[in-house]
Amino acid sequence: MSPNLSELDIVINSIDFEKSCIKSSFEDFSGDLVLNRNLSGRPIFNGVMTIADALWDIETTIYRLEWQKQLYFHSEISFDQWFIFSKADIRLFHIEIRSLMDHIGLVIKHIAQSKDKPKDSFDDLRKKRDHYLQRNMISQEVYDLLDSSDWFNRFRCIRDAIVHEGANVISFGLKKGDPVLWAIYKQNYKSLLNDSKFVVNENGVINFERYAAYHMYHIYSFLDKFGDLLYQVTGVTRSQKGSATRSHGGIKVLQTWIKELRNYLQPNEIFHRAGS
């Protein structure tokens, strides 16, 4: 999928580096939802709060990974510790994002206006989006959001390989100043991402910081548009108007990674293989 450099810039500019916080329509909506007592306890309220919690957990994983890297650079943890901790966090990153997208799928189900509801799996929503649109089970706005999420297909395959298919995640020792490096192999040490633009050598080793930044920029951009949509369909009054911010050390790390990604990328495909 071709990166949208203007969307990258929007995400970068939505983050206040000094305060480690991010602004978006989703953050606004979450804040207004908390203030709207009429929706408290309803499925959409619980769904949105679950999305916010899942996003927080992903940012925590990123924050911890960067913290551990700095500890390793300064010889405060051993290579063995770095290896097992970073491997666990890279696996967790994939699991958490897959869960986040299903939480989004559940909210999409809750806001459906039709009597028959779509399934709440984000993967199912994407695969059957034409079917759901034709039967008025999702709106055109939801369809467009699902249609723009091509990055999810490849990511889901990697997550499923990790969770269900015995794929092996490996992290590597680093020299000071290196990015986090990882690889994912299946049988016979065949890399599952050897065609990724983030590969740094012929053995399928990947720059995780660019890889994570690529996926998180898509998620932040999606949630910003999703927040606008939620205002439209729920009728919640928009009182925050960009004033709602959420602070987390992981957001500062991600802004640094996304900026580096922005400088690195050219306007061509991240993955070369068709259908990714």
Q: Mapped to the 3 state alphabet, what secondary structure does 125-173 carry?
A: HHHCHHHHHHCCCCCHHHHHHHHCCCHHHHHHHHHHHHHHCCCEEEECC
Which pTM does this prediction carry? 0.90
| pLDDT at residue 273, as a whole number | 35
| pLDDT at residue 244, as a whole number | 62
- Other CB atoms within 10 Å distance of the CB of residue 267: 8
Give me the count of residues in the chain. 276
| pLDDT at residue 271, as a whole number | 41
Q: Which two tokens stand for residue 234?
A: 């729920």
Strand ranges, E, within 56-134 = none
Straight-line distance from the first to the last Cα atom of the chain, in angstroms, rounded to the nearest whole number? 7
Q: Residue 256's closest CA among 212, 222, 194, 199?
A: 212
Phi, psi angle pair for 69, to nearest 5° = -60, -45
The angle, 0 to 180 degrees and rounded to 10, between the axes of the packed helices 43-73 and 208-234 is 160
Burial annotation 18-42 (CB, 10 A radius, 16+ → b, else e): eebbbbbbbbbbbbbbeebeebeee
Contacts of 144-150 with C-beta under 8 Å, sequence gap 24+, read 145/222, 145/225, 145/226, 145/229, 148/222, 149/218, 149/222, 150/1, 150/276
Using DSSP's 3-state secondary structure scheme, residue 88 falls into helix
Spans of the chain, pLDDT less than 50: 268-276
| pLDDT at residue 229, as a whole number | 94
| pLDDT at residue 267, as a whole number | 52
| pLDDT at residue 36, as a whole number | 76
| pLDDT at residue 272, as a whole number | 39
Q: Residue 236's closest CA among 47, 34, 51?
A: 34
| pLDDT at residue 89, as a whole number | 98
